[in-house]
């Protein structure tokens, strides 16, 4: 799922292309995409784009008369900049927003159509789409710690809860926790003061690092290939590859459609975290440490 740095890269690429331009036509190819009936989608046609905003992991496109198109890309939704009136053939093409200088096309890979488009009127209705998480850059240390300790949860769960932090998901939470050298299953209400400081610093620095990288790329070309798995990430999507800090192989916990990647030596004191499915299968044979894991591999 595109997260805060990815959403800002999209916005950075879209602003010079569509702000001040007339939205000539909205073409909806998938009946599942548009989730609102009032105002009618035709009401934005012919209006000029005035502003773009990030609302959590959503992109809000504001046009004349205080109307807002709110796009939530979910896991597999992506944006593309195409030639004017680009065709919408194929199952992956969900919608196109036609401008005089090109077309913004929304696609979604896979059979599950989760991406959504809402058309809302007014600031109050727009803000109802904000899950409420704090912005890590506009919040101080105490606000950050208070938000994450409101409930006693694992760090991974707290960092990725949109009601706690704005725009951070599975990929960047892995990178943050590796940078902070903290276990993804450490409980928020049991962190020590120095661990809190490391987490706060790592969250800001990691997100800023990726904002800078992706916006720099977006200046040269539209971000057509937004992905959660980047070669220059330290741990996310790098299962079995060496940790850039210590060289130990990256491990993972798999659950549902997601996985958590971590370095046992850097983050968990050498403890191998239980994978829900495999640990249930192996029972008492599940390796608890890196040494036990290596011994199991040699059998």
| C-alpha span between 54 and 70 (Å, rounded) | 9
| C-alpha span between 238 and 232 (Å, rounded) | 10
Whether residue 134 lies inside any domain: the answer is no
Low-confidence ranges of the chain (pLDDT < 50): 278-287, 291-299
**In this structure, are 55 and 150 located in the same domain?**
no
- Domain end point (choices 71, 98, 127): 127
Question: Which tens digit of pLDDT belongs to each residue from 241-299?
Answer: 999 999 999 999 887 667 899 999 999 999 998 765 544 433 444 345 554 444 444 44
Coil vs helix vs strand at 179: helix
Whether residue 48 lies inside any domain: the answer is yes
**In this structure, are 286 and 161 located in the same domain?**
yes
**In this structure, are 147 and 182 located in the same domain?**
yes
Whether residue 135 lies inside any domain: the answer is no
Q: Which two tokens stand for residue 103?
A: 């077309």
| C-alpha span between 124 and 294 (Å, rounded) | 56
- Bond from prior residue into 199 cis (ω within 30 degrees of 0): no
Question: What's the total number of domains in the chain?
Answer: 2
**In this structure, are 211 and 88 located in the same domain?**
no
| C-alpha span between 44 and 117 (Å, rounded) | 13
Whether residue 246 lies inside any domain: the answer is yes
For residue 226, give its domain range: 141-298
Give me the pLDDT at residue 251, please: 93
Task: Assign 3-state DSSP to the chain and report helix, strand, coil percentages, each to 5.
Answer: 35, 25, 40
**In this structure, are 28 and 104 located in the same domain?**
yes
Angle, CA of 252, 256 and 259, to the nearest 5°: 20
- Domain end point (choices 69, 99, 127): 127
Cα dihedral 73, 229, 238, 74 in deg (nearest 10) = 0
Give me the pLDDT at residue 256, please: 63
**In this structure, are 77 and 182 located in the same domain?**
no
Phi/psi for 98 (5° steps) reads -90, 130
**In this structure, are 174 and 240 located in the same domain?**
yes
| C-alpha span between 97 and 103 (Å, rounded) | 5
- Domain end point (choices 68, 97, 127): 127
Whether residue 45 lies inside any domain: the answer is yes
């Amino acid at each position: 799922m595109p997260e805060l740095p990815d959403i800002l890269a999209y916005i950075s690429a879209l602003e010079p292309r569509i702000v001040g331009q007339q939205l000539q036509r909205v073409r909806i190819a998938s009946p599942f995409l548009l989730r609102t009936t009032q105002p009618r989608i035709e009401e934005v046609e012919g209006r000029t784009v005035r502003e773009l905003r990030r609302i959590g992991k959503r992109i809000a496109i504001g046009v004349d008369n205080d109307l807002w198109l709110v796009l939530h890309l979910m896991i597999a939704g992506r944006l593309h900049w195409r030639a004017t009136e680009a065709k919408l053939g194929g199952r992956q093409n969900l919608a196109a927003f036609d401008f005089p200088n090109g077309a913004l096309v929304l696609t979604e890979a896979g059979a599950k159509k989760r991406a959504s488009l809402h058309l809302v009127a007014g600031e109050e209705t727009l803000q109802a789409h904000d899950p409420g998480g704090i912005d890590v850059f506009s919040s101080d240390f105490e606000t950050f710690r208070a938000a994450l300790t409101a409930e006693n949860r694992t760090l991974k769960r707290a960092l990725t809860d949109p009601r706690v932090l704005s725009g951070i998901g599975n990929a960047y939470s892995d990178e943050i926790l590796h940078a902070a050298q903290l276990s993804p299953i450490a409980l928020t209400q049991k962190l020590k003061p120095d661990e809190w400081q490391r987490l706060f610093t790592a969250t800001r620095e990691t997100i800023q690092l990726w904002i800078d990288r992706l916006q720099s790329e977006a200046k040269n070309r539209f971000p057509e290939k937004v992905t959660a798995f980047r070669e220059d990430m330290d741990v996310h999507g790098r299962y079995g590859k060496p940790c850039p800090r210590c060289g130990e192989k990256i491990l993972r916990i798999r659950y549902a459609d997601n996985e958590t990647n971590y370095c046992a030596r850097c983050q968990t004191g050498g403890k191998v975290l239980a994978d829900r499915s495999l640990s249930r299968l192996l029972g008492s044979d599940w390796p608890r440490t890196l040494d036990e894991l290596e011994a199991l591999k040699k059998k």
